[in-house]
Amino acid sequence: MTARSATPRRAWLGFTLVLSLVALVAMDNSVLYLAMPSITEAISPTAGQALWIVDIYGFVVASLLIAFGNLGDRHGRLKFLLGGATLFGIGSAGAAVAGTPEILIASRALMGLGGATLLPSGLAIVSNLFPDARQRARAIGIFAATFAAGFAVGPVVGGLLLDGFWWGSVFLINLPIVAVFLAFAPTFLKDVREARPGRVDALSVAQSAIGILLAVYSVKAAAAEGFSAGQSAVGVLGVAILVWFVRRQLTLEEPLLDLKLFRDRVFTVAVLTGLLSLVAWAAAGYLSGVYLQSVLGFSVLAAAFFALPGAAVLTAACVGTAGVVERIGKRAALIASHFFMAVGLALLLFTGSDGGAAFYIASTVIAGVGYGLSFSLVAETAVAAVPPERAGSAGAIAEMSNELGNALGISLLGSLAAYLFRLLGPGVSGTLDTTLGSPGLSAEDAEQAKDAFVTGLHAAIGVAAALTFALGLLAVRWLPREDRGATAGELSGEEVRVVS
């Protein structure tokens, strides 16, 4: 009897239900990358609102991921999964019919609230579905690959939908999947809860969420409208709250974020990789979507097809990571991911306002190898670097680094691009799309606007490429060499402790 046949069909059906939600949560991180020109045309958000529309979802997920994971342990994972799916569906419906930027931002935040419950609860339930260790490991690998694939195909799905429907369709597509899940999950999934769940520090949750949002709001406001006393005060307050948050974590017996784990260099490299890989990927995806449509003039369908090769390579790299690790080891694979990302991103620096689609495709293909390797290795490397009793905290931090990186990439690097556009553009509007749509815009002003956007794109991508390259050099220095006589790809605990 095979391992698969030894597992009840009910478990596999339940697993498929959970994967459908995982794919949705991941896709909604990136589905708007090609949709923003259409949304801008329809509801005319400001430059700051456009950034919030894209990244508020990731911020809410990242801020609440660990807290909701602990609450799920206490009150039951299935309850949280069903509640999260319901919120995600309500938020999706609200976003699909939103007539103003404010309503769309609020709906995306509600979707993030649901998404923050789905990831940790879904993973816990999947682990419980498969009592056999090998099947459980395989299922968790598929879970991670599905999440990465959802990130990768989000822009493609968004582009294909927008070619035939209005922009709200990128949210409306979520509703049938959520409805099927809510109908069948109670039948195929069992509730999971910990016998002794950890305590959730409500003040820490508030500190992290409010501190991040205030600090990022300040950056966005400076990029869109310039520096001011009020904007600076908000930024200082946000940073002060984050400092307070860090100091509090060091004094709690059960911290929301276990900062002591960062004493281990391998863990630190893994989490930074998770953060920066998503910073780079999100910024490149968002800015490139606008570049292809608004600068080069391609249709949304053509832009979606241009994104296909990179999405395919990223997904293949996720699936093939285990084979790569067997051949060259985990250390070499993780180091290689940084340099693939850096080289791929650097190719975007050769794009221009008069052409560059080929460089975009080459960039996504080469960087896609690095993204795929990093997405698959980060959580495993982070968990392996810490003692077994702290594996849960390590995994949660690694997961949070991905979500936070996705949001920060658009917020910080997107704000840098927006600032340069405001500085170098014709001064008609704060975004390229609204500028190009302004009545009576001269050909010279249109060209100046496109050139200003490309300059901002190059600056943001240049920063991302430099950061990933620098982290690659740090990984070469900090990651211990492996004992190739041990299990392929494993970083031994002894070597980890010597290096750290």
Q: What is the Cα–Cα distance from 201 to 186, expressed in whole angstroms? A: 30
Specify whether the CB–CB gap between 403 and 111 falls below 8 A.
no
Question: Which amino acid is located at 392 in the chain?
Answer: G
Q: Measured between alpha carbons, how far is residue 327 from residues 156, 322, 371, 488, 495 in Å? A: 32, 9, 19, 8, 20
CB 150 within 8 A of CB 24: yes
Helix ranges (DSSP H) in 329-442: 330-347, 357-384, 391-408, 414-424, 432-436
- The answer to whether 108 and 134 have CB atoms below 8 angstroms apart is no
Task: Decide: 499 and 338 in contact? Cβ < 8 Å.
Answer: no
**28 alpha-carbon distance from chain centroid:** 9
- Specify the pLDDT at position 392: 62
Q: Sign of dihedral through CA atoms 246, 218, 114, 391?
A: negative
Task: Give residue 492's pLDDT.
Answer: 43
Q: State the DSSP code for 132.
A: S
Sign of CA pseudo-dihedral 31, 33, 39, 45: positive
Name the DSSP letter for residue 352: B
DSSP string, 1-25: --HHHHS-HHHHHHHHHHHHHHHHH
**For position 279, what pLDDT does the model report?**
92
Q: In 3D, which of 68, 97, 98 has the Cα closest to residue 84?
A: 68
350 CB-near residues (< 8 Å, 6+ apart): 356, 359
What is the DSSP code string of 161-194? HHHHS-TTHHHHTHHHHHHHHHHHHHHH------
Helix (H, G, I), strand (E, B) or coil at 386: coil
Per-residue pLDDT of the chain (500 residues; tens, 9 = 90+): 444 444 577 888 888 888 888 888 788 777 888 888 888 889 988 877 888 888 888 778 877 777 777 677 667 778 888 888 999 999 999 999 999 999 999 999 999 888 888 776 776 777 777 777 677 767 766 777 787 778 778 888 888 888 888 889 989 989 999 999 999 888 888 766 555 555 778 898 889 888 888 888 888 888 777 888 998 999 999 999 999 999 999 998 888 788 888 999 999 999 999 999 989 998 998 899 899 999 999 988 898 889 889 988 988 888 888 889 889 999 999 999 999 999 999 999 999 999 999 999 999 999 999 998 998 888 778 878 888 667 667 777 887 787 788 778 888 898 899 999 999 999 888 889 889 988 889 999 999 999 999 999 999 999 999 999 999 999 999 999 875 544 434 554 434 333 33
Dihedral pair phi/psi, residue 355, rounded to 5°: 165, 160
End-to-end CA distance of the chain: 45
pLDDT computed for residue 198 by the predictor: 59
Per-residue model confidence (pLDDT) at position 2: 45
pLDDT attached to residue 367? 96
Please, which residues have CB within 8 angstroms of residue 229's CB and are 6 or more apart in sequence? none
pLDDT for the residue 458: 97
**Which residue in the block uniquely carries the two structure tokens 């990651």?**
479
The one-letter code for the residue type at 390 is: R
What is the pTM assigned to this prediction?
0.82
pLDDT of residue 445: 93
Strand, coil or helix: 270: helix
Alpha-carbon distance of 282 to 275, in angstroms, equals: 11
State the pLDDT at residue 197.
55
